[in-house]
Amino acid sequence: MVGTVTQEHAHKDIDNAKSMGLDGFALNIGDATCEYVSQALSYLFPYAESVGFKLYISMDVYASGDACYHGAKSSQCHGPSDYQWIWDSYKGSSAYYQVKGRPLISTFSSGGFHNDTWIDWKKGLANDMFFMPDFDETEGYYDPADEWWSYWGPIVDGIFSWESAWPERKGFGGKYAGDVSNRCSRSIRGP
């Protein structure tokens, strides 16, 4: 999660990750309008370029929406559009992680925005990204019904889930951590 960090700390994080065999970070960004976001990214991207490390943006639209709806002065309250400046600044970086030749963008949450907001946002970026959101709070995500795919399918290039790494909890259904359904996996990977 991107927060207040010094240049030295940002470089050390990358160096430590590389020494462990990691080759990149997902940069979870809540309120993209906070000043520290710009500063942290200005430390991370150039250094990552210089050492061959990859980065990509994960828009925490849940956090930015929460900040907006609770009166944060910095949030612009435009959901994914609040992150446009980051995309414009860093999509061309050699450190920006790509999938199938396109820069990857993920999310944490849909932020309550409907598919038309996301479609307009993606069109505004000329569809020039590999969009892999975590829309796990949306109806049907864990049990991917045809309706979910009809509604969200035109937007997504892949599925990203924070919840897939948690252990399964007996007695809980698909809306709980660790219970990403086999049907969802088959829908993405194929039979």
Per residue in 152-166, pLDDT (tens digit) is: 988 999 888 766 655
> What is the three-state SS of 78-141?
CHHHHHHHHHHHHCCCCCECEECCEEEEEECCCCCCCHHHHHHHHHHCCCCCEEECCCCCCCCC
The reported pLDDT for the residue numbered 144 is: 64
Per residue in 6-32, pLDDT (tens digit) is: 999 999 999 999 999 999 999 999 888
Going by pLDDT thresholds of 50, 70 and 90, the confidence category of residue 183 is: very low
Q: Which fold has domain 7-189?
A: TIM Barrel (3.20.20)
Domain ranges across the chain: 7-189
Mean confidence (pLDDT) of the chain: 81
